A and B are shown apart, each in its own frame.
Chain A
Amino acid sequence: MIYLDNAATTLQKPASVPRAMAQAVQRCANPGRGGYAASMQAADTLLELRQAAADCFDADPEQVVLTMNATHGLNLAIRTLVSPGDRVVISGYEHNAVVRPLHALGAELSVASRALFDPARTAADFEAAISRDTKAVIVNHASNVFGYVQPVEEIAALCRQRGVPLIVDASQSAGILPISLRHLGAAFIAMPGHKALYGPQGTGLLLCGRLPDPLLFGGTGSQSRLPEMPDFLPDRAEAGTQNVPGAAGLLAGLGFVRGQGSALRVRERQCRAQLCRGLAAISGVQVFSGGADQLGVVSFRAAGMDCEDLAAQLAERGIAVRAGLHCAPLAHESAGTLGSGTVRASLGAFNRSEEIAAFLDAVEEILKKQEGTQEKPLPFHGFSCII
């Protein structure tokens, strides 16, 4: 299989990840609950993960809350900062992990910017949108549909200047782009463990610049005589038994990412450029590419062909991509692709140039076959490619 759905989850993991998980299953008991070796070993695993994440993201280990995914972290962050009726400024590229919790709370959403691959305009739009009554700003670092890297540093500076708490959704960027909790001064940064940090599914991290309100209430192994949740991190946000095998896997994944250093980003850039160039060269394909402002997440669509049909035909050839709205209808609305959806090819550390070439050949072959069976489709309008 050629796996190009890394924005959903990285399927191929370093060998150290399943190994660490298997060891944890066999050796780790409940962390923070006992004083015996197996419980302490579990607690050590969690602390090592917090320490590694703190080193990676310039935070204190106690600011690292373990979550089950980025959505969980975002819900914690949003429930802490937003009350019903509050005005929240978001980008036009937010995932449903942001939009749905805000909708459920009855927040008033203000979409600051729909600019795509134009960070200067995005920053200017945020500057105009953040007002005195803004209760929080939420921005994804990189779009899960288009890979657009938003100007999060500029937006964070605006939030600091105006005293508005910022939530960053780093689902696509964590592990690829540098992220500093201290430097950004964000209230919260949420990320999954199972994407570019190469941990297993069911893991995530929430970096806390402030004390979150609990989302789950229950045992923490600390202050157990009190009916309230502890008022300190990380316990306040970690009720119940933690996913220690997942944490062990995520720790191994983080070790892989840190060991690779900038090589991951360099390889991803090369593969993305090959992908965008190749797609742009195929007749009838519209590719959304943004040069240096894009991660290895590339959306495209083919004139006259349903995106799900194209993805299905690729799947028949052993190529895994994701089609549709990618749980981000707002992003598609912003880019003008809400009606058609897109096919998304997303890269990971284990993709090779030959795989990209094979993928491009397959797309071309499918579209040629399609051309022979129907009238010439109308071309798409309204988006210029930058490669």
Chain B
Amino acid sequence: MREYFVNYRSITKAQRALRALERQGIAASLQRTPQAARQNGCGYSIRLSEREFLRARPLPPGYDSVLVKTGQLWEAVP
């Protein structure tokens, strides 16, 4: 199963993005950025299923990176 992590440096940006997605009826959750997905230390990520990720595009602004996790493998999403 593929899961998408939209990573934010700031919890404020991440919270606002989550609320924007929720207003669009997209199911997503906010969580701490997994260690494997971090760039400069702690941050927050919006976690989405593949189906919801595709619905969510274009993503709310302000994110730093998007990663997809397949099993234990992490890949950057261009």
Contacts and interface: CB of A to CB of B under 8 A. Distances in A.
Interface stretch (A13-21, A40-48, A308-316, A333-341): A40-48
A223 B41 contact: yes
A369 to B, nearest CB: 58
Contacts of A61: 12, 16
Contact of B12 (A62, A225, A226): A62
Nearest to A33: B42
Contact of B10 (A34, A44, A226, A232): A232
Contacts of A47: 12, 15-16
Contacts of B13: 62, 232
B5 to A, nearest CB: 13
B9 A232 contact: yes
A62 B13 CA distance: 8
A194 interface: no
B8 to A, nearest CB: 9
Contact of B32 (A31, A35, A46, A50): A35
A222 B11 contact: yes
A43 B10 contact: no
A44 B42 contact: no
A219 to B, nearest CB: 9
A234 interface: yes
A230 interface: yes
Given A223-B40, A225-B40, A43 B32 contact: no
B43 A44 contact: no
Interface in B14-54: 15-16, 30-32, 38, 40-44
Contacts of A224: 40-42
Q: Which of A223, A226, A230 has the most CB of B within 10 A?
A: A223
Nearest to B13: A62
A63 to B, nearest CB: 11
Q: Which of B10, B16, B41 has the most CB of A within 10 A?
A: B10
B11 A223 contact: no
A41 to B, nearest CB: 12
Interface in A288-327: none
Nearest to B30: A40
Interface in A10-61: 31-32, 34-35, 40, 43-44, 46-47, 50, 61
A290 to B, nearest CB: 40
A43 B11 contact: yes
Contacts of B42: 221-224
Contacts of B11: 31-32, 43, 221-222
Interface of A: 31-32, 34-35, 40, 43-44, 46-47, 50, 61-62, 221-226, 230, 232, 234-235
Given A61-B16, A230-B9, 16 more contacts: A31-B11, A34-B32, A35-B31, A40-B30, A47-B16, A62-B13, A221-B42, A222-B9, A222-B10, A222-B43, A223-B9, A223-B40, A223-B41, A226-B41, A232-B9, A235-B12
11 contacts: A31-B11, A32-B44, A50-B12, A61-B12, A62-B10, A221-B42, A222-B42, A223-B9, A223-B41, A224-B40, A225-B41
Q: Which 3 A-B pairs have the closest CB atoms?
A: A224-B41, A225-B41, A35-B32
